[in-house]
């Protein structure tokens, strides 16, 4: 009888250990690769209520840029946040969750967002296209707060550097989908907050993210121009 | 004379090696109301790349001459996921391109569907 006690203790310890290990390995439901689901998502409203200043900025951009020749996409310009949070084109997004940081890898333009967990924004964040993001968990929902976004007039959301984005990201439909409720506030550009729901589908298990090199064509153009210059100036 | 001839040969060689170059047109560059614009021709160059893939297609005119068309289509990443088999799309192949014509009358189109000589179709 006394010999059974140590055995029982070992069995209990093993069971506990297995349980703890399995809890430690359990990933948050938002982790993984997701495919934007345009069929369920809302678009940023085309008829947004601009402020007078916002209307002026957008009108000035449109008046000074030819929609074909001056298309930023032609120059591999990534619009950054808040456009990034709106899914956009049909490229997957991978979310990697650690205790200190949630990393959002967007295949389109190889953009990376880093969400620093349980931290405050710096007093004066240096403006960047994707801004400065901090996050916290509210149950299974990741709440991301982003400021310090560089002002940009092109993209689906023309914005000033005072734009503020709050995202509430959680898995829905038993993990088959992801919902990002995005609220955008920009006192310079818009007269009120704009909220948009963006859905994603869980990508098939064999999905692999690809690289997205965008500038090969531009370099080829440069090389052709260089070769033409050389042909025109060098004597044979 | 000798120099002129040499430069001429070099210029011709450069033209023959003409790169596909960069391509990314805004949708406004194409007439998206017309989705069945069709071109038949022979592939002279093709590059699967981002942000958009590009092809130059030699198309015969009714008067017997030919024109080189610029064909723009989806990014290499999206084509890969949609199952396009790049090994089957080669320079010298006779193909049919279907999609949107230029909105400004240029010899260019945005291709949504490519049909090979054996009838195989790669779409979107």
- CA dist B54 → A31, A122, B122 (Å): 35, 44, 15
B49 and A217: CB-CB below 8 Å?
yes
Check CB contact of B89 with chain A, cutoff 8 Å. no
Contact residues for B23 (Cβ-Cβ < 8 A; gap 6+)? A217, B52, B53, B54, B70, B72
Mutate to test the interface with A, among B51, B100, B124 (most CBs of A within 10 A): B51
Alpha carbon distance B34, A18 (integer Å): 62
Sign of CA dihedral A103, A125, A215, B89: positive
Q: Find the CATH number of the domain harbouring B97.
A: 2.40.50.140
Residue B11 lies in a domain: no
Mutate to test the interface with B, among A36, A74, A91 (most CBs of B within 10 A): A74
A217 and B22: CB-CB below 8 Å?
yes
Would the pLDDT of A126 be above 60? yes
How many independent structural domains does chain B possess? 1
ipTM value, please give it.
0.78
Residue B14 lies in a domain: no
Would the pLDDT of A102 be above 90? yes
B54 and A224: CB-CB below 8 Å?
no
Residue B10 lies in a domain: no
Contact residues for B80 (Cβ-Cβ < 8 A; gap 6+)? A210
Residue B58 lies in a domain: yes
Which residues of chain B neighbour A214 with C-beta distances below 8 Å?
50-51
The answer to whether B81 touches B54, Cβ cutoff 8 Å, is no
pLDDT at B119: 95
Chain A and chain B share a number of CB contacts under 8 A equal to 69
Q: Give B66-109 as a DSSP string.
A: EEEEEEEE--HHHHHHTT--GGG--TT-EEEEEEEEBSSS-SEE
Give residue-wise pLDDT tens across range B66-105: 999 999 999 999 999 999 999 999 999 999 999 999 999 9
Residue A11 lies in a domain: no
Residue B52 lies in a domain: yes
Beta strand B66-73 with B108-115 is parallel
Would the pLDDT of A236 be above 60? no
pLDDT at A7: 57
Residue B15 lies in a domain: no
- The pTM for the full model equals 0.82
B22 and A221: CB-CB below 8 Å?
yes
**Mean model confidence pLDDT for chain B:** 85
Give residue-wise pLDDT tens across range B17-53: 445 566 667 778 899 999 999 999 999 999 999 999 9
Which chain B residue lies closest to A72 (C-alpha atoms)? B26
B104 and A68: CB-CB below 8 Å?
yes
Q: Find the CATH number of the domain harbouring A148.
A: 2.40.128.20
Alpha carbon distance A43, A156 (integer Å): 9
Residue B100 lies in a domain: yes
How many independent structural domains does chain A possess? 1
**Structural domain range at position A76:** 26-222
Residue A46 lies in a domain: yes
Residue A37 lies in a domain: yes
Give residue-wise pLDDT tens across range A10-56: 555 555 554 555 555 678 999 999 999 999 988 887 777 899 999 99
Residue A98 lies in a domain: yes
Q: How many helices (H) and strands (E) does chain B have?
A: 2, 6
- Closest of A201, A203, A189 to residue A155, by C-alpha: A189
Check CB contact of A70 with chain B, cutoff 8 Å. no
């Amino acid at each position: 009888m006394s010999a059974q006690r140590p055995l029982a203790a070992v069995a209990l310890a093993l069971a506990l250990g297995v349980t703890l290990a399995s809890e430690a390995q359990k990933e948050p439901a938002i982790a993984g690769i997701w495919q934007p689901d345009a069929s369920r998502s809302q678009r940023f409203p085309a008829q947004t209520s601009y402020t007078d200043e916002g209307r002026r900025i957008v009108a000035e951009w449109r008046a000074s840029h030819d929609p074909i020749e001056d298309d930023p996409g032609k120059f591999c310009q990534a619009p950054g946040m808040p456009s990034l949070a709106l899914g956009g084109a049909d490229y997957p997004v991978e979310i990697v969750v650690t205790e200190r940081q949630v990393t959002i890898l967007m295949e389109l333009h190889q953009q990376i967002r880093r969400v620093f967990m349980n931290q405050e924004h710096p007093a004066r964040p240096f403006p960047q296209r994707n801004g400065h993001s901090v996050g916290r968990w509210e149950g299974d929902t990741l709440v991301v707060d982003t400021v310090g976004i560089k002002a940009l007039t092109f993209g689906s959301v023309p914005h000033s550097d005072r734009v503020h984005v709050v995202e509430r990201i959680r898995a829905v439909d038993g993990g088959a989908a992801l919902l990002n409720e995005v609220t955008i506030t920009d006192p310079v550009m818009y007269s009120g907050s704009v909220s948009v729901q963006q859905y994603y589908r869980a990508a098939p298990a064999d999905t692999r993210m690809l690289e997205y090199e965008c500038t090969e064509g531009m370099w080829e153009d440069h090389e052709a121009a260089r070769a033409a210059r050389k042909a025109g100036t060098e004597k044979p | 004379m000798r120099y002129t001839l040499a430069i001429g040969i070099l210029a011709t060689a450069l033209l023959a090696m003409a790169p596909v170059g960069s391509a990314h047109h805004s949708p406004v560059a194409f007439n998206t109301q017309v989705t069945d614009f069709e071109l038949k021709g022979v592939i002279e160059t093709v590059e699967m790349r981002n942000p958009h893939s590009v092809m130059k297609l030699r198309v015969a005119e009714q008067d017997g001459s030919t024109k080189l068309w610029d064909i723009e289509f989806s990014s290499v990443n999206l084509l890969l996921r949609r199952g396009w088999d790049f090994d089957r799309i080669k320079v010298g192949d006779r193909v049919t391109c279907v999609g949107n014509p230029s909105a400004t009358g240029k010899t260019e189109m945005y291709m949504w569907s490519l049909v090979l000589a054996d009838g195989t179709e790669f779409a979107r």
